Copies of this chain bind each other. A is one copy, B any other.
C-alpha cells in the first residue's frame, strides 16, 4: 500500500493537490488516533464543510479496520462536527457564525474551569514550568516569531491542563476545538504584523493567569482565563471566515 492516498472528491479545496493521508500504525488507541486525524483535517479546513465522508473509504486510506473509523465518526457526529445528510451519508458540518461564536464561548468557560481546578493543585514544579514558558513567550513575541509564540503558549496551557487533572473536562475542551494548528499559526502571524499591541495584551493575560495560579486564587485564575479567551473570539472568527493559506503558497 502506498504511504499517501487521496479521497476521491476531497481534492478540489486547495491548489496543493490531493489531500494526503498517512496510514496509521495499529495501536490500542486506534479510534483516538483516527478521531484526532479527522478532527485536525476538519479544523484545518482540509476536509471542508459539506465534504462527504465515507467510513469504508477512510478505513482503506488510513489503513485500519472499519470499527475504529466507525467509532471515531460517531464521536465526531456527537460533537456536531459531522452530520448525517442521508441514511448512509455523512458530511462535514457547516458552522454558522452564530454557532462558532457560541462554541468559542463555551470553550472559554471550560478552559476557565480548568484553570480553577488547577489553582488548588498546581505544584511548584508546574509553576516553574509555566514561568519558563512565559519567558519564552516574551522572547518569541519580542522577536515576532509566531511559531515560537504558539509553542510557548502550548507549553503554558499544558501545565494548566496537567494540574487540573480532569479527563472529562479535557475531553469536553477537545470537543470544542474548531481551529487547527495551521490556522492558529496564520492567526498569530497576522496578529504580529497587523496589530502589534495585541501581542502585549496576550503577554499580560498570561502574566495575570500565572499570578493567580501562583497565589492559589481559583476565582481569579478562572476569571482571567475566561476573559483572555473571550477577548480573542472576534479575531478568531475573522480568521475562520478567511480561507486557510498553506505555507509558501502565494496568492
Measuring CB to CB, which residues of chain A are less than 8 angstroms from any residue of chain B?
Answer: 31, 71, 74-75, 78-80, 99, 102-103, 105-106, 109-110, 112-113, 116-117, 166-169, 171-172, 175
Contact = CB atoms under 8 A, between A and B. Distances in A.
Contacts of A31: 74
The 6 A-B residue pairs with the shortest CB-CB distance in the complex, in nearest-first order = A80-B168, A109-B109, A71-B74, A106-B113, A102-B166, A102-B117
Contacts of A103: 168
B80 A171 contact: yes
A109 B167 CA distance: 17
Contacts of A169: 102, 106
Contacts of A75: 74-75, 78
Contacts of A168: 79-80, 99, 102-103, 106
Contacts of A110: 106, 109
Contacts of A171: 78-80
B74 A172 contact: no
A79 B110 CA distance: 15
A175 B74 CA distance: 15
B167 A80 contact: yes
A169 B104 CA distance: 11
A226 to B, nearest CB: 9
A31 B75 CA distance: 12
A116 B98 CA distance: 13
A13 B158 CA distance: 41
Query: Which of A74, A78, A105, A175 has the most chain B CB within a 10 Å cutoff?
Result: A78
A106 B114 CA distance: 9
Nearest to A75: B78
A87 to B, nearest CB: 8
Contacts of A79: 168, 171
Contacts of A116: 105
A82 to B, nearest CB: 12
Given A71-B71, A99-B166, A106-B168, 18 more contacts: A31-B74, A71-B74, A74-B74, A74-B75, A75-B78, A78-B171, A79-B168, A79-B171, A80-B167, A80-B171, A99-B168, A102-B169, A105-B116, A106-B169, A106-B172, A109-B109, A109-B110, A172-B172
